[in-house]
Structure 1
């Protein structure tokens, strides 16, 4: 599926949820970052993702802090090393889809598990979590 088809299927909630894994989330975030100024990309992607999870009756899966964190990171990485395709972007940024999640470098588990982080963007937990321990 090309980016246009992928975006359309996501926005009209016809995208098979089995195809919307973590890598697909990153791809969709990259598509929005490529098409809109950052603030608008975050707003549009967040709105579309909430609508998609609502259509799947899986609203509890939406997480504001995780969404914002990845959108900010995608935008920062794309600005630093522009890539014309998602495959090229991912090739330079494998850590965005690697295990353990890059989130563990910036957030404590209890921070991400909080209702505050789920419903409102929370800045990372200060210095990188592993360095702070």
Structure 2
């Protein structure tokens, strides 16, 4: 089990927002958990506004500005939302067990939407680029 699960959803979000979360604990799964929490708290539109602001602040605080990618951030939120709508889970642990592809095959999921490399695109890092293959629903 990953370290971020040692924290309640409230404590996890609070530490993230205050840039007190250990960067080594902020794994891909932890990013997905943050999306789950924020969608619950603020709705999809709110999460799409809230997370980028705080994620940029977090990466800056740990000296990892080059790691931030706006397109990937929004795409991950949209992917979590898509599966959350289909989910029977009422907590993130059950959710990620129900939809393990979000964790284990995330790049494949994203490649269904984007026919170009959003991971290394300078433009994708700075602004959200709409998918060119399949829109998020």
What SS is found at the alignment partner of 2:58? Answer: helix
Partner of 2:130: 123
Question: How high is the TM-score relative to the length of structure 2?
Answer: 0.85
Partner of 2:64: 58
Structure 1, unpaired ranges of 5+: 129-133
Partner of 1:75: 81
Structure 2, unpaired ranges of 5+: 1-6
Alpha carbons of 1:65 and 1:59: their partners in 2 closer, same or farther (altered >3 Å)? Answer: same
Compute the displacement of 1:61 (Å): 0.8
Alpha carbons of 1:11 and 1:66: their partners in 2 closer, same or farther (altered >3 Å)? Answer: same
Alpha-carbon distance in 1 for matches of 2:121, 2:43: 29
Question: How high is the TM-score relative to the length of structure 1?
Answer: 0.87
Alpha carbons of 1:83 and 1:103: their partners in 2 closer, same or farther (altered >3 Å)? Answer: same
CA root-mean-square deviation: 1.8
Alpha-carbon distance in 1 for matches of 2:69, 2:106: 18
Q: Report the number of matched residues.
A: 128
